[in-house]
Amino acid sequence: MGIDDFIWGLVTLTLRTRYKKQKLDFRQLNSVPPKLLALTIAAWHEENVLGDVVDNIIQSTDYPKSMYHIFLGVYPNDEATISVAKELEKKYPNVHTVINELP
């Protein structure tokens, strides 16, 4: 454990006790206009889980779908993951496949 970890631990504990006293009002939170977001997912041999991950993100996110984009970073020598990423790109307009130049 480094001294920097210890300091961040103290800061987190201090802030956590301070913010526990404040109540979050969801009506106020929803009154703030959404901002454009980008999510990046790096994928290497993730063909078995990538579809479930992206489906879960899109189905469980309470945010306008037009206001966030998911970028799937894949490698050119991973055809199985590229295939899944391309299918997700067809399924969702806010999902984009980015293929790295290097294997």
Where do the structural domains in the chain lie, given as residue ranges? 31-99
pLDDT score of 19: 66
The residue assigned the tokens 């899944």 is 84
pTM of the model: 0.73
Secondary structure of residue 26 in the 3-state scheme: helix
**Contact by Cβ (8 Å): 17, 50:** no
| pLDDT over 70 (residue 18) | no
Model pLDDT for residues 35-71, shown as the tens digit of each residue: 999 999 999 999 999 999 999 999 999 889 999 999 9
Two tokens, residue 8: 């961040």
Two tokens, residue 58: 């899109």
Mean per-residue pLDDT of the chain: 90
pLDDT score of 48: 97
